[in-house]
């Protein structure tokens, strides 16, 4: 509880400072423009999941590739090997020698989370706003995009998706689940 | 009351009592239509399994549906509409169209019985090492992209047995998905699968389920709107086959038996000239059928549909008993009915006895279905003969006479002779005479020389020998 209060206070302070020092507040359209212009690249990710069920966070890492307009590939190399490809409406997961294909319609919560990342990377504002209520904070040198699901069923699972980045590149994706569990994915250009 | 009249009254009362008793027996008889009666009485486990599966198995309850026409999105909408309607219908236990929500009940079942079903559960599973391995695997899964989907299960099932069961159930890739629902390989129709609660052999329930599917589809079309107008649904599966083939057979049976009954009734009416006699003529057969069913029901506990069908043809010869009686009654004075009986009864008695001798072979058959047929036929024929012997003469009108058709018969015979002369190459040198022209015809091998029956010639003409003769003549004409 105390930690949460502290965190909220810290965020508030950061936000206030950002607002104070920002030369020009970033508009959502301007951010989307920057994201659209970003060239496709493969990036490294490091994901940490905190769950009430577990006493320690779970860590995983690997590579992410986004190919506009809607293909997102996530290759996990640690702890286990896994490959997840989302393209259009289809989700394919390869894990432990098994390949499973599913339709995103079957998993609305997963679809919502993926769409939050995918539409942001594509700089597709209409698609993003179709699924989420979007608020933007910060400026081009450090922005924060807060996505709250519009669909009540999805909101029962996913409370909020927060993306942070610098100019056209996304650096972190934070997912807060409705039950308090959360995950943080930190993204860095490959090789670093 | 004279002794003969008293005897007549006793016969009629006894007949009515027997009919009532048989009716009571039939009222709580179970009729079955599956094939188990035509299996040996002591089937092997394989045979028993086969019949059980045919009758009750999961496959016999399957219903496959395909939605065609319109475009893929509309088909998917219709698929979802049909599935959601049928899922609310108690007649269906499973309705699957590929959407994830189709297997809620099954998933709950798997979760509830995860430790019994899981292929991974063995003695090692619950040792320290086994648990460590299982839980490590679960943690890996939680860290993976599927983590969010797995999470709700982990608290209940930390060793991941539910997923192990689901994985073992997954065969290959499954049907193609299009717009979130199953589709056929070419993507031209949406595919649904349903299982009925009723067994596949319950044809009434299967027909009702078929109707429910069509209804659900029509409702779906109405709710989707104009874009769904071109769509249609096709249903197949064992239940659908049996419901449709029964409807076809029913239609044929109704049409053909109406025609046959009308033909027989017309002919008998022409000969008897009395609707009452026509009704009386059917009494032996009807009584025979009732007694036969009651006998099978009392002896076997249930009556097979096939017994009813074939049994009716086997005891059909009882129609002839009445014909013998009527012809005899027509030829002699009714006042001397005792003498008349002496004339026709030995014929029928011999016919019944030879038939019983034949049907005895069925009674001792190892297949309950055939034994049922034997019991049905023997009981039916004995009852029919007794009704003909003791009841019919009492009920027959005093002035009953069969119409003399010998003039008409002679005309038909003459016509046949003329036809024969028309046939090229066979007119002059055939001394053979049509049997139609002979007055006395022995029928179906049941009549003896001592009691040969004079039948009106019109009937005589329909006898099998004559038919063959005719066929030969006609072939000679046209070839």
- Taking the whole predicted model, whether its pTM rises above 0.80 is answered as no
The SS3 call for residue B137 is helix
* Lowest pLDDT segment from A117-121, B131-135, B274-278: B274-278
Residue B459, C-beta contacts closer than 8 angstroms, at least 6 positions apart: B267, B271, B405
Q: What is the pLDDT of residue B273?
A: 75
Using a CB–CB cutoff of 8 Å, tell me whether B73 touches chain A. Answer: no
Confidence of residue B328 (pLDDT cuts 50, 70, 90): confident
Q: What is the pLDDT of residue B17?
A: 93
Which one, of A172, A169, A140, A183, lies nearest residue A52 by Cα? A183
Which one, of B352, B348, B346, B342, lies nearest residue B315 by Cα? B352
Nearest 10 degrees: CA dihedral of B26, B31, B35, B41? -40
Tally of CB atoms within 10 A around B365? 15
List, in order of start, the domains of chain A with CATH numbers.
Answer: 26-189 (2.50.20.10)
- Distance (Å) from the alpha carbon of B231 to chain A's nearest alpha carbon: 23
Residue of A60, A101, A106 with shortest CB distance to B99: A106
Q: Which residues of B313-346 are buried (b: 16+ CB within 10 A; e: fewer)?
A: ebbebbbbbbbbbbbbbbeeeeeebeebbebbbe
More confident residue, A40 or A14: A40
Residue of B140, B154, B155 with shortest CB distance to A79: B140
Q: Is residue B454 over pLDDT 60? A: no
| Mean predicted confidence (pLDDT) in B436-456 | 40
Residue A105 per-residue DSSP state? G
Cβ–Cβ of A110/B144 closer than 8 Å?
Answer: no
Cβ–Cβ of B148/A89 closer than 8 Å?
Answer: no
Of A103-107, B70-74, B305-309, B379-383, the range with the highest mean pLDDT is: B379-383
Q: Is residue B291 over pLDDT 90? A: yes
Q: Is residue B430 over pLDDT 70? A: no
Cβ–Cβ of A101/B173 closer than 8 Å?
Answer: yes
* Lowest pLDDT segment from B65-74, B108-117, B338-347, B433-442: B433-442
Q: Is residue B475 over pLDDT 70? A: no
Q: What is the pLDDT of residue B233?
A: 92
Model pLDDT for residues A142-156, shown as the tens digit of each residue: 889 999 998 888 888
ipTM of the complex: 0.73
Q: How many CB pairs under 8 A join A and B?
A: 58
Model pLDDT for residues B75-92, shown as the tens digit of each residue: 989 999 999 999 889 899
Do A54 and A182 touch, CB atoms closer than 8 A? Answer: no
> What Rg do the C-alpha atoms of chain B give, in angstroms?
34
Do B303 and B293 touch, CB atoms closer than 8 A? Answer: yes
More confident residue, B346 or B471: B346
Which two three-digit tokens encode residue B119? 């292929």
Confidence of residue B432 (pLDDT cuts 50, 70, 90): very low
Confidence of residue B241 (pLDDT cuts 50, 70, 90): confident
Do A56 and A63 touch, CB atoms closer than 8 A? Answer: no
Distance CA A167, CA A34 (A): 6
Using a CB–CB cutoff of 8 Å, tell me whether B167 touches chain A. Answer: yes
Helices (H) and strands (E) counted in chain B, each on its own, are 19, 8
A 110-139 residues inside an 8 A Cβ radius of B: 110, 113
Residue of B143, B177, B179 with shortest CB distance to A79: B143
Distance CA A162, CA A152 (A): 18
pLDDT > 90 in chain B, percent = 17
Confidence of residue A69 (pLDDT cuts 50, 70, 90): confident
A 28-67 residues inside an 8 A Cβ radius of B: 47, 49, 51, 53-54, 58-60
More confident residue, B172 or B350: B350
Q: Is residue B326 over pLDDT 60? A: yes
Do A102 and A94 touch, CB atoms closer than 8 A? Answer: no
Residue B240, C-beta contacts closer than 8 angstroms, at least 6 positions apart: B63, B206, B210
Contacts of B155 in chain A (CB under 8 A): 53
Residue A104 per-residue DSSP state? G
Contacts of B149 in chain A (CB under 8 A): 107, 110
Residue of A53, A79, A93 with shortest CB distance to B145: A93
Tally of CB atoms within 10 A around B33? 15
Contacts of A74 in chain B (CB under 8 A): 145
Model pLDDT for residues B254-269, shown as the tens digit of each residue: 888 888 888 888 887 8
CA count, 13 A, side-chain hemisphere, B345: 13
Confidence of residue B455 (pLDDT cuts 50, 70, 90): very low
More confident residue, B89 or B52: B89
Could you report how far apart the first and last alpha carbons of chain A are, in Å? 35
Q: What is the pLDDT of residue B331?
A: 60
Could you report how far apart the first and last alpha carbons of chain B are, in Å? 68
Q: What is the pLDDT of residue A9?
A: 66
Confidence of residue B464 (pLDDT cuts 50, 70, 90): very low
Q: Mutation test of the interface with chain B: which of A82, A98, A104, choosing the one with the most B Cβ atoms within 10 A?
A: A82
Model pLDDT for residues A162-184, shown as the tens digit of each residue: 999 888 888 999 999 888 888 89
Using a CB–CB cutoff of 8 Å, tell me whether A97 touches chain B. Answer: no
Q: What is the pLDDT of residue B219?
A: 92
pLDDT averaged over every residue in chain B: 78
Residue B89, C-beta contacts closer than 8 angstroms, at least 6 positions apart: B212, B216
Do B92 and B243 touch, CB atoms closer than 8 A? Answer: no
A185 CB-contact burial (10 Å; exposed 0-12 / middle 13-18 / buried 19+): buried
Which one, of B106, B118, B215, B210, lies nearest residue B157 by Cα? B118
């Amino acid at each position: 509880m105390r930690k949460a209060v502290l965190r909220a206070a810290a965020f508030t302070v950061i936000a206030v400072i950002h607002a104070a020092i920002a030369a020009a507040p970033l508009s959502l359209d301007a951010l989307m423009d920057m994201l659209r212009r970003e060239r496709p690249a493969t990036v490294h990710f490091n994901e940490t999941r905190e769950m009430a069920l577990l006493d320690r966070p779970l860590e995983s890492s690997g590579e992410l590739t986004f190919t506009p307009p809607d293909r997102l590939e996530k290759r996990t190399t640690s702890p286990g090997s896994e490959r997840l490809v989302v393209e259009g409406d289809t989700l394919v997961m390869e894990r432990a020698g098994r390949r499973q294909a599913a339709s995103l319609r079957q998993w609305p919560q997963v679809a919502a989370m993926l769409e939050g990342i995918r539409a942001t990377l594509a700089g597709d504002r209409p698609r993003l706003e179709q699924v989420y209520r979007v608020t933007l904070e910060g400026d081009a040198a450090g922005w924060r995009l807060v996505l709250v699901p519009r669909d009540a069923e999805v909101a029962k699972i996913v409370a909020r998706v927060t993306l942070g980045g610098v100019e056209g590149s996304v650096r972190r994706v934070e997912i807060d689940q409705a039950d308090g569990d959360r995950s943080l994915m930190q993204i860095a250009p490959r090789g670093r | 009351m004279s002794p003969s009249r008293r005897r007549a009254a006793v016969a009629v009362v006894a007949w009515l009592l027997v009919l009532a008793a048989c009716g009571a027996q039939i009222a709580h008889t179970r009729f079955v239509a599956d094939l188990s009666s035509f299996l040996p009485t002591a089937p092997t486990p394989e045979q028993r399994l086969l019949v059980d599966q045919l009758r009750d198995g999961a496959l016999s309850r399957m219903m496959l549906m395909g939605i065609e026409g319109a475009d893929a999105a509309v088909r998917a909408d219709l698929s979802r509409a049909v599935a959601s309607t049928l899922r609310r219908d108690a007649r269906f236990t499973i309705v699957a169209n590929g959407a994830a929500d189709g297997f809620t009940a099954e998933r709950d079942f798997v979760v509830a019985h995860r430790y019994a079903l899981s292929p991974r559960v063995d003695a090692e599973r619950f040792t320290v090492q086994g648990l460590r391995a299982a839980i490590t695997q679960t943690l890996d899964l939680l860290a993976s992209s599927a983590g969010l989907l797995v999470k709700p299960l982990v608290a209940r099932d930390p060793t991941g047995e539910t997923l192990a069961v689901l994985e073992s159930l997954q065969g290959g890739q499954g049907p193609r998905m299009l717009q979130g629902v199953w589709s056929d390989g070419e993507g031209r129709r949406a595919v649904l699968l349903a299982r009925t609660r009723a067994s596949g052999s319950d044809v009434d329930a299967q027909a009702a389920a078929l109707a429910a599917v069509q209804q659900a589809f029509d409702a779906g079309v109405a709710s989707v709107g104009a874009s769904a107008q071109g769509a249609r649904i096709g249903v197949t599966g064992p239940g659908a086959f049996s419901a449709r083939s029964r409807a076809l057979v029913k239609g044929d049976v109704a049409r053909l038996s109406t025609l046959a009954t009308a033909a027989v009734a017309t002919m008998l009416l022409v000969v008897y000239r009395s609707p009452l006699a026509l009704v009386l003529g059917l009494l032996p057969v009807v009584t025979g059928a009732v007694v036969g069913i009651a006998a099978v029901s009392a002896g076997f506990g249930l009556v097979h549909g096939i017994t009813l069908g074939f049994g009716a043809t086997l005891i059909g010869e009882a129609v002839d008993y009445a014909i013998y009686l009527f012809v005899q009654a027509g030829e002699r004075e009714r006042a001397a009915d005792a003498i008349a009986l002496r004339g026709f009864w030995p014929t029928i008695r011999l016919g019944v006895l030879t038939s019983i001798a034949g049907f005895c072979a069925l009674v001792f058959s190892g297949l309950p279905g055939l034994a049922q047929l034997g019991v049905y036929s023997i009981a039916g024929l004995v009852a029919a003969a007794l009704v003909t012997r003791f009841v019919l003469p009492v009920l027959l009108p005093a002035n009953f006479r069969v119409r003399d058709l010998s003039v008409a018969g002679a005309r038909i015979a003459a016509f046949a002779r003329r036809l024969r002369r028309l046939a090229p190459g066979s007119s002059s040198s055939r001394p053979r005479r049509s049997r139609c022209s002979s007055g006395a015809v022995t029928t179906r091998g049941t009549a003896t020389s001592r009691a040969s029956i004079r039948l009106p010639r019109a009937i005589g003409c329909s006898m099998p020998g004559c038919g063959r003769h005719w066929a030969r003549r006609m072939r000679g004409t046209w070839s």
